[in-house]
Structure 1
Amino acid sequence: MFDPHDPLGIDDLLTDEDRAVRDTVRQWAADRVLPHIAQWYESGELPVVRELARELGAIGALGMQLSGYGCAGASAVQYGLACLELEAADSGIRSLVSVQGSLAMYAIHRFGSEEQKQRWLPAMAAGETIGCFGLTEPDHGSDPAGMRTYAKRDAGGDWVLTGRKMWITNGSVAGVAVVWAQTDGGIRGFVVPTDRPGLSAPEIRHKWSLRASVTSELVLDEVRLPADAVLPEATGLRGPLSCLSHARYGIVWGSMGAARTSFETALDYARTREQFGKPIGAFQLTQAKLADMAVELHKGILLAHHLGRRMDAGTLRPEQVSFGKLNNVREAIEICRTARTVLGANGISLEYPVMRHATNLESVLTYEGTVEMHQLVLGKALTGLDAFR
């Protein structure tokens, strides 16, 4: 039988364990996020972020793609399915998990010392400690090599960090920040407890996107750290960029969650909303919209599955992640916009999730690499010519 919600039979690609992970995250989101998300979005806050983090830790969703230190050791596909279900609820919830697991925890797990891993990762996996990731600066987003945040050594061997980071998810609620800074020896990463003197994280307000998400600045005013605060295995931009590639992979999946919710909302609406004596889904133009949305949605999910299998096999390249991020977020926004037209004026109401997802995706389109950056990554891979500068 043809399933309008899975027209290509993609579920057949999943193992029983994959489905169990997906269903666990989907049920958690239905119970804990969906009843409240419109209110959180309208008020522009996520008041229970610490409580949600602990619950996400309890179901194994934080750093789930990592092994050891209390992490679930899930497959890349299972992590992707979790991202899809979280973003089907709201992009801000998926961002909480992505920054925690794919940026802050991944950086410590991949580049940290054993002491750093033992100190931070178990508490972060449990959601007892929230992490953030400081790379972007007010004047340096797509070009992180130009960052001005600087770490210098003093005579006693300590590091002293000074600078500002911008658009930091989880910043004001984080207990630990992974901060990237210029040093005399190149760009290095630092594990920074957020209670250190000189560090503050003023929250960014007045956002029209990702409103149910904590977004902050990080201000570092001569923050003193011990010599062992540096991530020993990361030198240069390769460290933070590998973290970003890992986070972008989650976005490839997550964006399809936002698109799925918007498509299914439009499909249900088209079946029940009547005009000119019959449901609007019976009109050719509406069916054309639904068909086009379904095609792009499930092509995107197939692409996400393909990249997930490659990641699990150890063959996924950063250029392929750029391919997925560029395509899936761009198509997800178009699906949301088309779904909004099916709902007509109701599409702009928070009684329906479509406009919330559309505005959230405007941020997702930009962060973890803008459209232009991913186009240039692919352009260089296709031509062998570097057009970044």
Structure 2
Amino acid sequence: MLPTPEAHDLLDLTTEIATRELAGKADDFEARGEFPREVLRTLGRSGLLGLPYPEADGGAAQPYEVYVQVLEILAGTWLGIAEAVSVHTLSCFPVAGFGTEKQRAMLPDMLGGELLGAYALSEPQGGSDAAALTTRAVAEGEEYVVTGTKAWITHSGHADFYNIFCRTGGPGARGISCLLVDADTVGLLPQTPEKLMGLRSSAPAALVLDGARVPRERLVGTENEGFAIAMKALDSGRLGIAACAVGLAQAAVDYATGYAKEREQFGKPIAQFQGIGFMLADMATQVSAARALLLHAARLKDAGRPFSIEAAKAKLFATDVAMKVTTDAVQVLGGAGYVSDHPVERWFREAKVLQIVEGTNQIQRLVIARSMTA
């Protein structure tokens, strides 16, 4: 049950925007691999890019329980947009939670979507082992000089600001800081976008920092304490990716069910054959279970209770469900599911990345297992 009538109105608005602004554009943007910057700006002006942040900062002060349902609706229409909203929301977290007064003055434009964010933690040799990152920031007077390479950065080349996690101290997690870096900083060099199997409209790219000079006043939080900021941001980010997975999986269930009710073989709709009907029933049950796990974690966060392990469980389960359900949707459609005339082949390709981003599902299992055995 949604907390307020306002929340119901927000979900209705999101559904309307998804139908009017997104549904007719997704296939074209994905086919061309074009980043939908103007679409995101429209979402920002509609209030959908700052939902879980306080109104005083330019947000909408919505609980995470509502925010993740917004993402689910968006993902059911266009995963690339939902993932972009999730990443942008993640990118606003360091400044919102730890920024100076001067940095926080940027929040209205961040949360309103006029400034798009990117979160630069991963590196070519340090994805899952983020504490081993090697990008270094050396203090010179009132600036940091930053050198290194970031990898798989969503919005790289399109973002207006970057959270750059870099080494300012010794080895390990205790030597990492977070810098807020403008896109026009000299020496900040986005590379050619990666060519992806799916989610092509949101293709990530490497980000080279070649002696980029960043004012020391752009340090977010305390020097050498940036790793804690990164991990707190990812706890919430995992809820966002889980919501994307639930939305994608629900779309696949709905489409496969509709197809099975229309497609006839041996004189009756294939949905009436037990082999197909049971498959659809399992798909629907798995999506409902994933949604319940997601909402449980979101409610814990809203209540101010520990939620990081439940977020890991939600991300793990929901993204595995999305992969299985989209695979089964292709199977329900048979040969038709393997051609681009139907969206299930795209959803199948897109589902895979959700098992990788915001911490691979192997990392989620490690996090959960450690919490049980420590």
TM range (shorter): over 0.9
Aligned to 1:264: 254
Q: Take 1:233 and 1:311, find their aligned partners in 2: how far apart are those partners?
A: 24
Match of 2:269 among 279, 287, 290: 279
Aligned to 2:40: 53
Aligned to 1:5: none
Q: Take 1:147 and 1:371, find their aligned partners in 2: how far apart are those partners?
A: 20
Match of 1:99 among 76, 87, 95: 87
User: Are residues 1:193 and 2:182 paired?
Assistant: yes
Aligned to 2:151: 166
Deviations 1:178-226 (A, max 9, x none): 1000012610000000101111112323211211214221110001111
Q: Is the 8 A contact 1:91 1:361 kept in 2?
A: no
Match of 2:77 among 71, 89, 105: 89
Aligned to 1:178: 163
Q: Take 1:38 and 1:54, find their aligned partners in 2: how far apart are those partners?
A: 19
Deviations 1:41-78 (A, max 9, x none): 122222xx221122111121112101122111111111
| Structure 2 residue runs without a partner (length 5+) | none
Q: Take 1:316 and 1:209, find their aligned partners in 2: how far apart are those partners?
A: 34
Of 260-269 and 65-74, deviating more is: 65-74
Deviation (angstroms), 1:352: 2.0
Deviation (angstroms), 1:291: 0.6
Of 348-357 and 239-248, deviating more is: 348-357
Q: Take 1:267 and 1:277, find their aligned partners in 2: how far apart are those partners?
A: 18
Q: Take 1:149 and 1:84, find their aligned partners in 2: how far apart are those partners?
A: 34
Q: Take 2:194 and 2:165, find their aligned partners in 1: how far apart are those partners?
A: 24
Of 206-215 and 144-153, deviating more is: 206-215
Change (3 A) 1:22 1:349: farther
Change (3 A) 1:316 1:21: farther
Aligned to 1:314: 304
2:131 counterpart letter in structure 1: A
User: Are residues 1:70 and 2:58 paired?
Assistant: yes
Deviation (angstroms), 1:20: 1.6
Match of 1:338 among 305, 328, 345: 328
Q: Is the 8 A contact 1:53 1:128 kept in 2?
A: no
Match of 2:26 among 37, 40, 45: 37
Q: Take 2:329 and 2:159, find their aligned partners in 1: how far apart are those partners?
A: 36
2:16 counterpart letter in structure 1: Q
Deviation (angstroms), 1:348: 2.0
2:58 counterpart letter in structure 1: G
Deviation (angstroms), 1:13: 5.2
Using the size of structure 2 for normalisation, the TM-score is 0.95
Q: Is the 8 A contact 1:87 1:255 kept in 2?
A: yes
CA-based RMSD: 1.4
Q: Take 1:88 and 1:14, find their aligned partners in 2: how far apart are those partners?
A: 22
Change (3 A) 1:343 1:376: same
Identical aligned residues as a percent? 32
Deviation (angstroms), 1:359: 1.2
| Structure 1 residue runs without a partner (length 5+) | 1-11, 385-389
Deviation (angstroms), 1:233: 4.4
The DSSP-based 3-state class of the residue aligned with 2:68 is: helix
Deviation (angstroms), 1:236: 4.2
Q: Is the 8 A contact 2:23 2:77 kept in 1?
A: yes
Aligned to 2:97: 110
For this pair of structures, how many residues does the alignment match? Answer: 368
Of 189-198 and 298-307, deviating more is: 298-307
Aligned to 1:152: 138
